[in-house]
Amino acid sequence: MPPRTAPSERQRRLGAELRKLRTRAGMSGDDASAVLDVERTRISHIEAGRVDVPRNGLHKLLRAYGCGEGGLFEGLMAMAHDRGKGWWDEHRGVIGPVARDLAELESRSTVLRLHEPLFIPGMLQTEGYARAVLSETEGDAQRAEPYVAFRIARQRALTADVPVTCRAIIHEAALRARIGGPQTMRRQLLRLIEVSRLPNVTVQIFPFEAGAYSAYSRTFAIFGGATPELDTVYLEHPVNSVFLRDGEHTGEYAKMFERLSGLALDAVDPASPPEAHEARDSLSLIQHVMYSL
């Protein structure tokens, strides 16, 4: 099979981690090719994500690179095992590669941390709100429809047999923006309260009075797994979105998220009695905005 020309984020990440481990071990590409008894170019293709490495071959490489049993070892083996097509691959040719990469990351993550200063995060959007947002970004309501359906389908990660733990911090500005009109916004705000009933979902609102840190931090998502070494940060941009894989960068964003959480209002707890909301919290703010629409 010829090398692929457009590897997925998972394939690129696996290759990048193998290159990092090989370099750290002081081994050359020729050394690695000898471990697998393949041509040198095969190692280059593996490290670029252009070809897959069999599980037994990956096991040999990890041992040769000094990567012992543990979270990193198991995480990399799992990434190689996930070679089968996921539901997102059914949308190839209609949905762009970045959206498909996000769906695959969400399906593999155990913890998803979302920070959104302008919009409700896609994982928590209603269909009407998603349609209003994507119709603007795509510039055409008809062209947006496949992306609306795909975005809603991605939310299955929240209710899977082993659901992802989702922590979302949303700026108050996103609650007050009239995306799609008052009725669409009321339904969207109600959705935030409803989804917070899931035991794996936490929603916090960052209020205006907490200052500018949320705007400074901008939109980002952290996809976390069994080990922080394999965390991925996603920075959305209308022209060229970025996936950050370097541990130093992902660690800084993790710290940023915790600071945002500390500045934000207490998380939404729909089960708490009314008297528990004497102090301003995320639920009372969402309800206040919803009733004022």
- pLDDT given at position 222: 97
Bridge partners (DSSP) listed for residue 134: none
Lowest mean pLDDT among 34-43, 121-130, 226-235, 277-286: 277-286
Strands (E), the chain: 111-116, 165-171, 201-206, 220-224, 232-235, 242-244
**For the whole model, what pTM was predicted?**
0.92
- pLDDT given at position 276: 60
CATH number of 9-81: 1.10.260.40
Whether 42 and 83 have beta carbons less than 8 Å apart is answered as no
| Model confidence pLDDT, tens digit, residues 111-132 | 999 999 999 999 999 999 999 9
- DSSP 3-state of 106: helix
Whether 180 and 129 have beta carbons less than 8 Å apart is answered as yes
- DSSP 3-state of 278: coil
For 226: left if phi > 0, alpha if psi spans -120 to 50, otherwise beta; the answer is alpha
Backbone angles phi, psi at 166, to 5 degrees: -115, 125
Task: Assign 221 a pLDDT band (cuts: 50, 70, 90).
Answer: very high
Q: Which residues contact 232 (CB under 8 A, 6 or more apart)?
A: 9, 13, 105, 222, 223, 243, 244, 245, 250
User: CA separation (Å) from 268 to 124, 225, 247, 271, 289?
Assistant: 14, 25, 31, 9, 14
User: Which segments of the chain belong to CATH 1.10.260.40?
Assistant: 9-81
What is the full DSSP assignment across 220-238?
EEEEE-SSGGG-EEEE--S
> CB neighbours (10 Å) of residue 108?
20
Instruction: For domain 88-292, say whether CATH 1.10.1060 is its number.
Output: no
User: Which segments of the chain belong to CATH 3.30.870?
Assistant: 88-292
275 pLDDT more than 80: no
Percent of the chain with pLDDT over 90: 77
Angle, CA 225 vertex, CA 220 and CA 226 arms, to 5°: 150
Closest to 118 in 3D by CA, of 171, 169, 190: 171
Closest to 153 in 3D by CA, of 102, 201, 98: 102
| Model confidence pLDDT, tens digit, residues 61-119 | 999 999 988 999 999 998 887 655 789 989 988 999 999 999 999 999 999 999 999 99
